[in-house]
Amino acid sequence: MTDLVAGTRRWPYGIALLAVALVPALLTDNPYYLRLGIQYGAIYAIVLAGLNVLIGGTGQVSLGHVGIFATAAYAGAYVGAAGLPWILTAVAAVTAALAVGLVIGFPALRLRGAYLALTTLAFGLLAIQLISAIPRVLAGAGATATVVDVPRPVLGPIVLTGNRGYYVFCILLAAPMVALARNVFWSQSGRQLQAVRDHEGAASTLGISIVPAKLGAFLFSAALAGLAGALYASFDPLLSPDNFKAEDSITFVIALLVGGLAAPVAGPVLGAAGSIVLVYLGQTYFRSYQALLTALVFLAILAFAPRGLGGLLRRTPLRRLLPGVGETLVQSAAKARATDAPRSPIEASDTGADATAVVAVGLSARENGDTTTVAHPAGTVLVERAPLLEVQDLVKSYGGVRAIDGVDFLVKSGDIHVLMGPNGSGKSTCLDVICGLAAADSGRVFLCGNDLTSMPAHARARAGIARTFQEIRLFPGMTVLENAMLGNPSRYRAWRQLLRTRGVAAEEREHAAEALALLEAWGLGEFASRAASDLSYGQRKMLELARAASRRPRVLLVDEPSAGLNPRWVASMVEALQALRAAGHTLLVVEHHQDVIADLADTVTVLDSGVVIAEGPPAAVQRDPRVVDVYLGPGAARLP
């Protein structure tokens, strides 16, 4: 029971919700009520569950889903009318929906915002036109027979001819679909979709591949619209193209907004329930003003509850009973930690045949320049510290400006290597080109001897490069803990996460516990369940570093960690960076502050106008006359 109240065990709520949804079948045999329940309850819930993953998850607004729904209904109808079993009707509908989803999903990869919405709207119109044409073509020119008669599903000995049985059937299919869509929001895959929605560039530096994420969400929503189409096809005995209107796509989106965009269960369920009520009121009391009523109710809901009915519920005491994803993750993290200690969240990955790996197997090591002295039972050995990251002759121009112009340097394993230089000298551009967010005009990037130059950003991230940004790039739509968890990829494939297998749930608890431990170590623990956008500037910088570090990258690129921070935060930041080095991380840090550099740097590379002008240990570099010239003007004695 405490689990139930604490919100970590949620299936009893699901069962209760399902039971409530089934009650109408016990109470009424009225065909009108059941029709409302089937069409606007169950069928809408399925469509909205898919749309919620697409629009709420990835932020891609589709106004063409009625096209997918209608195509699927027709594909299912033709198969059903041929006398084949219902399951084949559903398979045909979902297959057609996936094919169509792929067609509109592709433009969605390039377009966004209003362009995407209008493209999908045009597609929806086109699909409906094509559907009305097919039966005419089939029936011969001049014929207007556009009606397909589809039989009801047969489940063994039961034929679902009555509306009551069909209602139960639809609800029993809708429930697992809503659950699947909910699982998306409760998984690493779902967080990745939201990361893509909030910032594609930052998402790709976390190893997230944008194309599969966007296309996957599109196909998921198409598949659900397809299943809904199959249910619709065998529900309406006389399926006709007139049943589908382009504006139905808009109604889907409105219903979702009314339910609560990105609310995993409330979005589709309350959206569908709200649609039933609106359609009932409209058809019963306001026949001539149905559209007006819908518009007014929609405006009222968004004015008083911008996050829909789901958001409204979360402002009531129900919130304590049913905490959201963020709060539940924190609770389950705390619980997981009570049972078994998480491994250190910032321990670096094994970087191969280098000194840190030797240390990791339990030998003691002492570093000295390019070699590490390792005390081994068989005697002292010297291990060469391998170059971990190497950039060769990197060139990158923007317009006429050569942001970097033939930059070479080597970052040694276990070092904090600082890139220093005046504003506009090309430091951030170096990081962009190393992590793959910007393509170099020429030159090469090697990590552990592997050439990464032709790889996209997400592949470089997977190869072991992580970064933070000069202008912080958190995902504001997620909580602090969810942001921190994004660094830690799941071992499980997306379809397993969709099913939320035992292993997936256990991994979620484990990753939440690790991320929470890191947040606590860096003074962010108490904010774990708050929105990332609630944090102060300094806290955001720390969170971004935590997110990158929890990838356990081979090399961590940090852009201006102390810029804009007050002295207290600068001290915490320096401590965090030192802790990362102590845990075996290799860092490439862009930094201005000389005292921070003196505290942190093993090696400093100085850039000026895109060219390396000095390199070496910090003390020597600060005395270098060329560096002094750049910072203090020609002839100045030394840096402040």
Question: Which residues of the chain form contacts with ligand ADP (CB under 6 A)?
Answer: 398, 401, 403, 421, 423-429
594 part of the interface to Mg ion, by CB under 5 A: no
Residue 339 binds: one of Mg ion, ligand ADP, none (C-beta under 5 to 8 A by kind): none
470 part of the interface to Mg ion, by CB under 5 A: yes
301-336 b/e (C-beta count within 10 Å ≥ 16 → b): beeebebbbbbbbbeeeeeeebbbbbbbbbbbbbeb
Tokens for 25, please give them: 């079948």
Residue 426 binds: one of Mg ion, ligand ADP, none (C-beta under 5 to 8 A by kind): ligand ADP
Q: Looking at beta carbons only, is 70 or 604 nearer to Mg ion? A: 604
Give the CA distances from residue 417 to residues 409, 467, 599, in Å, rounded to whole numbers and listed in that order: 10, 14, 12
Site string for Mg ion, 600-619 (x = CB under 5 A): --------------------
Helix 44-51 × helix 163-185 angle, to 10°: 10
Place of tokens 């369920």: 269
Residue 284 binds: one of Mg ion, ligand ADP, none (C-beta under 5 to 8 A by kind): none
Q: Looking at beta carbons only, is 47 or 404 nearer to ligand ADP? A: 404
How do beta strands 555-559 and 465-467 pair?
Answer: parallel
- Give the residue among 523, 520, 549, 521 at the shortest CA–CA distance from 536: 523
Within residues 256-275, the interface with Mg ion by CB under 5 A covers none
Other Cβ atoms within 10 Å of 509 Cβ, number: 21
CB 175 within 8 A of CB 18: yes
Q: Looking at beta carbons only, is 331 or 428 nearer to Mg ion? A: 428
Q: How far is the CB of 431 from Mg ion (least distance, A)?
A: 8
Among 204, 221, 428, 586, indicate the residue that binds Mg ion (CB under 5 A).
Answer: 428
Closest residue to Mg ion in the complex (CB): 428
Q: Looking at beta carbons only, is 272 or 557 nearer to ligand ADP? A: 557
DSSP assignment of 404-469 equals EEEEEEEEETT-EEEEE-STTSSHHHHHHHHHTSS--SEEEEEETTEE-TTS-HHHHHHHTEEE--
Q: How far is the CB of 409 from ligand ADP (least distance, A)?
A: 14
Q: How far is the CB of 389 from ligand ADP (least distance, A)?
A: 18
Q: Give residue 402's Cα distance to chain centre.
A: 34
Residue 421 binds: one of Mg ion, ligand ADP, none (C-beta under 5 to 8 A by kind): ligand ADP
Q: How far is the CB of 428 from Mg ion (least distance, A)?
A: 3
Q: How far is the CB of 431 from ligand ADP (least distance, A)?
A: 8
Q: Report the alpha-carbon distance of residue 167 to residue 458 in Å, rounded.
A: 45
Q: Looking at beta carbons only, is 48 or 457 nearer to ligand ADP? A: 457
Q: Looking at beta carbons only, is 20 or 401 nearer to ligand ADP? A: 401
Q: Number of residues in contact with Mg ion, rule: CB under 5 A?
A: 2
Q: How far is the CB of 126 from ligand ADP (least distance, A)?
A: 37
- 637 Cβ contact list (under 8 Å, min separation 6): 628
- 147 Cβ contact list (under 8 Å, min separation 6): 135, 238, 239, 240
Q: Looking at beta carbons only, is 304 or 398 nearer to ligand ADP? A: 398
- Return the bridge partners of 450, or none: 447
Site string for Mg ion, 355-374 (x = CB under 5 A): --------------------
Q: Looking at beta carbons only, is 56 or 561 nearer to Mg ion? A: 561
Q: Looking at beta carbons only, is 248 or 405 nearer to ligand ADP? A: 405
Q: How far is the CB of 611 from ligand ADP (least distance, A)?
A: 12
Is the torsion defined by CA of 456, 460, 465, 466 positive or negative? Answer: positive
Place of tokens 């009551």: 164
Residues that bind Mg ion (CB under 5 A): 428, 470
